[in-house]
Amino acid sequence: MTAPSLPTGIAALHAAYAAGLTPSALLQALSARHDALADPGIFLHRPAPADLDAAVAALPEFDPARYPLWGVPVAVKDNIDVAGMPTTAACPDFAHLPAGSAPAVARLVAAGALVIGKTNLDQFATGLVGTRTPHPIPRNACAPDRVPGGSSSGSAVAVAQGLALLALGTDTAGSGRVPAALNGLVGLKPSVGAIPSRGVVPACPSLDCISVFANSVADAWAGFAVMAGADDRDPWSRPITLGTPGAPLTRLGIPRAADLHLDGAEQRAAWDASLARIAPHVTIDEIDLTPFLETARLLYEGAFVAERDAAFGHLVPRDAMHPVTQRILAGAARFTATDAFAGLHRLAALRLATLPAWARMEALLVPTAPNFPTLAELEADPIGPNARLGTYTNFVNLQDLAALAVPAMRRPDGLPFGITLIGPRGRDAALAATGTQLMQVMA
């Protein structure tokens, strides 16, 4: 008898459960699939079979209406606490057993989700490539010679390889969007503060978001809707009215030619092919991205890098960290408190400078990533290609925006290419509706 494979969506999984599939049988099949993949870089911790059996036994009676994630296998980035599983942030010297689950994880479990493991990442969530880990690097699901994208590398690969239907990442500078683009997935980065970040090892606490990887916008939204909501014990939690995805947006901005930064003909061809699929009734307006791109540069080139040092620089001795992590944190010493306030003042001015653009568009549509580096390129230069990957992602949280990355038309060489919808805080539902429509026309 052939072992069951993971259905591609939550609705299909629930239909399979209704037809007789059991969570135990599914988890056994997923374990066998993981073993067959022979990729030791995806997970940093997998529960023992007895622990998974206990999680299955704790499930309530099958009722998808009441428990929308009933029996859904979920992978969790290893900088987010899960009760009974170690948190390491990909730094062995930091490993510890948390007192309990992060609220976001607890809410998933209460909705019926089954946590199948903790995933690899760029150490302390500092990077966009997925190679800044002392552990084996997760293999990109579409091109093993290319980077998997970071920092949420293992989470993206787990979904792309059919080991989980949902996976949690974190996204401070693009870590929930870049890996989605490079593995052909949806990456939902909610409005800042919409999902509690308590129980997350901080990277930049004022900007950190828990993100969701999935095969469809509907599944990503299902995970987001369960996790969203205020937390009165989280100083970064902010109230938000979610709404539900309704009519797609019809006024989209795109980068003007001077702001379209794409490396190579393959990336450009995919972008052009994707734009050609947008419905004729949608208004496309070329936007001057100067204030957005300047904002992006503030994150690593300005004093904001010092927030990373303040957040986790003291957690372990520097020599216990990955060499690139050490290099990033060392940059904080260049800046003073005066520089930090100057950065905040400049950010306020840049936010004001974007208002004319938002008067012309409902959402900004950009390439998720301008490049798709090979592992060899990262070995030769661990900084440059990583910085390039953040071109269209680094400004989003600084500007207090929501974003949704979706697969678009593939490159002529067959590799995945992604686009991202970006909108003002609270426009998450409208981005979801628009992303669903874009995926339909580009299928």
Residues that are catalytic: 77, 151, 175
420 bridge partner residues: 366, 405
Closest CA to 364 of 392, 391, 394, 389: 392
Distance CA 399, CA 163 (A): 34
Long-range pairs of 293-298 with CB within 8 A, sequence gap ≥ 24:
293/259, 293/391, 293/395, 294/350, 295/347, 295/350, 295/351, 295/394, 295/395, 295/398, 295/399, 296/390, 296/391, 296/392, 296/393, 296/394, 296/395, 296/398, 297/394, 298/343, 298/346, 298/347, 298/350, 298/398
- The residue type of 274 is S
Are 214 and 185 spatial neighbours (Cβ–Cβ below 8 Å)? yes
In three-state secondary structure terms, 341 is: helix
DSSP type of residue 129 = S
Q: Judging by beta carbons within 10 Å of its beta carbon (0-12, 13-18, 19+), is residue 352 exposed, middle or buried?
A: exposed
Torsional class of 273: left (φ above 0), alpha (ψ -120 to 50), beta (otherwise): alpha
Closest CA to 108 of 25, 263, 224: 224
Torsional class of 236: left (φ above 0), alpha (ψ -120 to 50), beta (otherwise): alpha
* Residues in the chain, total: 443
In three-state secondary structure terms, 362 is: coil
Distance CA 417, CA 408 (A): 6
Q: Cα angle at 118 between 68 and 116, to 5 degrees?
A: 45
